[in-house]
C-alpha cells in the first residue's frame, strides 16, 4: 500500500491505542470497506503490518509504504479514499509475494525538512547564546530586528512580566498565556527579518558536513558512542529555497534514528545563526561524553518517500511491476504535498508559532 498523510493531530504512524495514529485510522477503514475482519482491525500483527518508515508524532509523509495482508478487490483503493479523512490518501495497492517486508526491502529514504528563514537570525546580544559565542559573531542586521522587538516588549509588558519571561530557572510553559503573547509578538517581528544569502550558504555548508558515514550517537536518545547501530550513512543533502520565506532541506539516507534529522537540522541552524565554522557539526560525531543538541520542531519534517532500488531490480528481471508511483500518481502526490502538508506546516507556524518557540529555546543555550 502506497500512502501519504498529513501528520498534524496524529501521534505518529505506528498503531498505539488509545492514541490517534495513521495505522489505527487505516485499520479501522480497512474493516469498514471489508478488506479485513473486525477481529483483525485492532491487531496489526495479524495483518502483518510493516511500514517502510515509522514517522513520529506530527510528522508528515508524501509517500510511505505499508506491507500488509488484506482481501484486495478492484475498487479497494477507491473505497478506502472515500472513507478515509482527507489528510490521509492511498495512492495505490499492488500484490507482492508473502516474504515481502516493507522495512527490510527498503534501501534508503528521502526526507524533507522545512524551516522559515527567520530561524537563521543571529542571537540577540542579551541572550545566553550570544554571550557564549559573541567573540566569533559578526553583525549581519539581526541586532536591529532584536532592538525593535525589545522596544515593542517594553511597551507591551510590565517589568515584572519581562522578568518572569527572562527567568530561565522558572522556565514558563509554552502554553502559558504570557509566553503565548510574547511569542506572538516575536513572530510578527521576526517575519520582517531579511535573510542574507551568506547565512543560507553557511547553513547549507553545515548540512553538507553530514554526508558520509558518521557516528550519530549524539543525535538520538539512548545510544552510546560505541554502539555500532549509531553509525549511519547519509547519501545526499540538498538545500534550496522552497518558497519566499521558507527553506527546504532534503536528506537522503539509508536509515535514521529517533529524532536524528530534527537534531541534524537544529545543529546546522545553530552554526549558521552564530556564524560558527561548519565543522562544529563534526565535533558532535566524536566518541566520549554526550553533547546536548536541541530538537527542531517535528512539524517541519516530512517523509518524501522510501527507495526500493535493489528490490525493483529483481522485479524488473522477473517482469513484475516495480514498487514506485507512476507519473500520474506522482503528480497527485506532489499536489497533496503542496496543498495539505506545506499548508499545514505554514498554518501550524501561524497558529502556534512553533519555530518562534524554537528560536527562543536556542537563545537560552549555554553550551554548543
3-class DSSP assignment, residue 316: helix
The DSSP call for residue 47 is G
Instruction: Give CA–CA dist 326/334, Å, rounded.
Output: 12
Torsion 216-358-341-70 (CA) sign: positive
Q: Is 193 annotated as a binding residue?
A: no
C-alpha grid cell, residue 21: 495514529
Residue 18: asked if its preceding bond is cis (omega within 30°), the reply is yes
56 is catalytic: yes
Residues 229/184, Cβ–Cβ less than 8 Å:
no
CB atoms within 10 A of CB 163: 11
Instruction: Give CA–CA dist 73/57, Å, rounded.
Output: 32
Which among 56, 107, 140, 181 is annotated as catalytic? 56
Of 153, 141, 140, 161, which is closest to residue 188 (Cα–Cα)? 153
Residue 285: asked if its preceding bond is cis (omega within 30°), the reply is no
Torsion 177-179-182-183 (CA) sign: negative
The DSSP call for residue 157 is S
175 phi and psi angles, rounded to 5 deg: -85, -5
Residues 119/271, Cβ–Cβ less than 8 Å:
no
CB atoms within 10 A of CB 148: 12
> Where on the phi/psi map is residue 299: left (φ > 0), alpha (ψ -120 to 50), or beta?
alpha
**Residue list, annotated binding site for substrate:** 111
Catalytic annotation, residues: 56
**Residue list, annotated binding site:** 111
Amino acid at each position: 500500500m502506497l500512502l501519504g498523510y498529513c501528520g498534524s493531530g496524529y501521534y505518529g504512524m505506528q498503531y498505539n491505542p488509545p492514541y490517534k495514529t495513521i495505522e489505527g485510522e487505516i485499520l479501522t477503514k480497512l474493516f469498514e470497506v471489508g478488506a479485513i475482519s473486525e477481529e483483525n482491525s485492532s491487531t496489526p500483527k495479524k495483518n502483518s503490518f510493516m511500514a517502510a518508515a515509522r514517522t513520529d508524532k506530527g510528522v508528515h509523509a508524501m509517500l510511505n509504504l505499508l506491507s500488509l495482508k488484506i482481501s484486495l478487490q478492484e475498487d479497494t483503493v477507491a473505497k478506502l479514499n472515500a472513507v478515509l479523512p482527507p489528510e490521509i490518501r492511498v495512492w495505490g495497492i499492488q500484490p507482492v509475494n508473502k516474504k515481502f517486508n516493507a522495512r527490510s526491502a527498503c534501501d534508503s529514504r528521502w526526507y524533507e525538512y522545512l524551516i522559515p528563514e527567520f530561524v537563521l537570525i543571529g542571537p540577540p546580544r542579551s541572550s545566553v547564546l550570544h554571550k557564549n559565542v559573541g567573540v566569533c559573531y559578526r553583525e549581519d542586521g539581526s541586532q536591529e530586528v532584536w532592538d525593535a522587538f525589545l522596544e515593542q516588549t517594553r511597551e507591551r509588558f510590565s517589568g515584572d512580566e519581562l522578568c518572569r519571561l527572562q527567568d530561565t530557572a522558572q522556565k514558563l510553559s509554552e502554553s502559558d498565556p504570557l509566553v503565548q503573547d510574547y511569542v506572538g509578538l516575536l513572530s510578527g517581528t521576526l517575519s520582517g527579518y531579511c535573510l542574507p544569502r551568506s547565512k543560507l550558504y553557511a547553513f547549507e555548508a553545515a548540512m553538507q558536513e553530514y554526508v558520509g558515514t558518521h557516528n550519530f550517537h549524539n543525535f538520538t536518545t539512548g545510544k552510546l558512542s560505541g554502539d555500532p547501530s549509531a553509525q549511519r550513512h547519509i547519501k545526499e543533502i540538498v538545500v534550496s529555497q522552497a518558497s519566499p520565506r521558507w527553506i527546504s532541506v532534503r536528506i537522503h539516507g539509508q536509515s535514521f534514528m529517533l529524532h536524528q534529522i530534527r537534531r541534524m537540522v537544529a545543529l546546522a541552524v545553530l552554526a549558521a545563526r552564530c556564524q560558527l565554522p561548519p565543522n562544529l557539526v563534526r565535533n558532535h560525531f566524536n566518541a566520549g561524553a554526550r553533547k546536548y543538541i536541541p530538537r527542531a520542531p517535528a512539524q517541519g519534517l516530512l517523509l518524501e518517500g522510501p527507495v526500493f532500488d535493489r528490490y525493483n531490480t529483481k522485479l524488473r528481471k522477473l517482469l513484475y511491476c516495480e514498487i514506485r508511483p507512476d507519473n500520474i500518481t506522482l503528480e497527485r502526490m506532489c499536489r497533496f504535498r503542496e496543498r495539505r502538508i506545506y499548508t499545514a506546516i505554514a498554518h501550524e507556524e501561524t497558529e502556534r508559532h512553533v519555530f518562534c518557540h524554537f528560536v527562543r529555546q536556542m537563545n537560552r543555550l549555554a553550551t554548543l
